[in-house]
Amino acid sequence: MVSVEYPPIKGGIGRYTYNLTQSLIKLGCEVYVACNKKGRGQFFGLSPTKMHNSDILLKIVDKSHPDIVHVQYEHGSYGLKLDPINPRRISTNIDSFYERCKTPIVTTFHSSYNFKQWVSRVQAVKSAGQTGNFGTVIEYWKYILNYNSLHKLDKRKLKQSKAGIVFSHYMAKLVGGGELIYHGAEPAIPNIATKQEARTKFSLAKEGRIALAVGFRTAIKGWDILENMQIPDGWNIIINSSKNDFGLEDEKIILRLERKTGNIVSLKKGFLTDEELSLLMYAADALILPYKVSSGSGVMFDGLAHGLPFVATDLGFLRIFFHRIRNNC
């Protein structure tokens, strides 16, 4: 199992990989995890910034002799590089592994983007204070120039894999195929908590309705949309943001939201354990997913597992599940 992100590293991909690993072990499979040095896998050394990830993985495969290699593929986790002149030079730091590995590879695609979402990712870089106005123009140029090459890169990874896995028809269309296997989720606490019990645990008001927004402090999560939202009477928005070990933090908007009074309340709990997140879901009446970019959402699946409806921005991935829920299928 290959995933740069793995617990205790925070993040949805790491959480998904951990749960998948545990499920495979229960089925009798022998599973080894290769991850970043901060994770609790069996092999280490992978990083978004290392150029030698391919060599590291090839040595691990040579040592462990697996039947398959399952890569959790997200471009940024493997050092996606965009060339400002020649888009054919787009690359990740595991390209060579896909070309040289003799063991069958299964790739789960965790992200891909339509043009609007792809270009809007530049805002995350700017909001995190990592570039000025001129640098932002350069970033927009690189993203626009490399858009088609990004999809060619995905299709090449799919072709080099024995099998590809996607979480929605939306993703299958973007990457050019793959086997649709839904993400799935289930409550992490064994006994269903009542709404009042759950709210008491988080010191939340027992009266009124709660829309829950959780996620990393990045601009693509759409926190600024909440800031300007007209919230209906009788509703409160409860937010809980957290830092990502590899992410681009947008501290300013979170601070503004935390200073607001009235019907937006910040829990300030940081990254939640599965049990804490499950309990918070039981305290809520709905999820709010104001994402500006989304290829998938573990939070959405968790909400559905807890019987929560969701309000979301009109993005392709989320739209598919909105229609499925509305049509009860």
What is the number of other CB atoms lying within 10 angstroms of the CB of residue 161? 23
Lowest model confidence (mean pLDDT) among 15-19, 159-163, 260-264, 283-287: 260-264
Q: Looking at residues 39-49, what average pLDDT do you find?
A: 95
Same structural domain, 170 and 298: no
Q: Which helix (H) or strand (E) holds 73?
A: strand 69-73
Average pLDDT of the residues in 153-166: 97
* CATH number of domain containing 257: 3.40.50.2000
pLDDT at 324 over 90: no
Residue 5 located in a structural domain: no
Domain end (from 121, 146, 180) = 180
Residue 49 lies in a domain: yes
Report yes or no on 69 lying in a domain. Answer: yes
Q: And the tokens for 124?
A: 């995350």
Same domain, 161 and 228: no
> Is the per-residue pLDDT at 292 higher than 80?
yes
pLDDT of residue 129: 59
- Sorted by sequence, the CB contacts under 8 Å of residue 120 that are 6+ apart come out as 220, 292, 293
Mean per-residue pLDDT, 110-120: 92
Enumerate the H helices of the chain as residue ranges: 12-26, 53-64, 95-100, 115-120, 122-127, 133-160, 169-175, 195-201, 223-227, 251-259, 274-283, 298-305, 316-326
> How confident is the model over 301-318, as a mean pLDDT?
89
How far is Cα 164 from Cα 144, in angstroms, rounded to an integer? 26
pLDDT of 248 higher than 80: no
**40 SS3 class:** coil
Same domain, 249 and 109: no
Q: How far is CA 30 from the centre of its chain?
A: 26
- Give me the pLDDT at residue 134, please: 80
Give yes or no for residue 128 having a pLDDT over 60: no
Same domain, yes or no, for 39 and 174?
yes
Same domain, 87 and 215: no
Domain presence at residue 6 = no
Q: Is the dihedral of CA 189, 11, 181, 33 positive or negative?
A: negative
- 121 domain residue, yes or no: yes
147 and 17 part of one domain = yes
For 300, half-sphere exposure in the C-beta direction (CA atoms, 13 angstrom radius) is 23
**104-121 mean pLDDT:** 93
- Domain boundary residue, one of 130, 155, 180: 180
Residue 125 and residue 236: Cα distance in Å, rounded? Answer: 30
One domain, residues 175 and 207:
no
Domain contains 187? no
Q: Is the dihedral of CA 290, 294, 296, 298 positive or negative?
A: negative
Residues 230 and 158 in one domain: no
175/201 same-domain check = no
So what's the pLDDT on residue 59?
97
* Confidence band, pLDDT 50/70/90 cuts, at residue 328: low
- Name the least confident of 58-62, 207-211, 311-315, 320-324: 320-324
pLDDT tens column, 57-88: 999 999 999 999 999 999 999 999 999 999 99
295 and 264 within one domain: yes
Does residue 185 lie within any of the structural domains? no
Distance CA 190, CA 282 (A): 12
- pLDDT (tens digit per residue) in 26-36: 999 999 999 99
- Condensed to tens digits (0 to 9), the pLDDT of residues 271-287 reads 888 899 999 999 999 99
State pTM to two decimals: 0.89
- Tens-digit pLDDT profile for residues 208-241: 999 999 988 877 888 888 888 888 999 999 999 8
Express each pLDDT in 135-153 by its tens digit. 889 999 999 999 999 999 9
Per-residue pLDDT at 191: 74
Mean pLDDT of 159-166: 97
- pLDDT given for residue 53 in this prediction: 96
- What does the angle CA 306 – CA 312 – CA 313 come to, to the nearest 5 degrees? 160
Is the domain of 146 the same as that of 230?
Answer: no
Range of the domain at 294: 195-326
Average pLDDT, the chain: 89
In this structure, the answer to whether residues 132 and 214 fall within a common structural domain is no
The total domain count for the chain is: 2
Where is the domain boundary, 110, 145, 180?
A: 180
Domain assignment of residue 205, yes or no: yes
Residue 252 reports pLDDT greater than 80: no
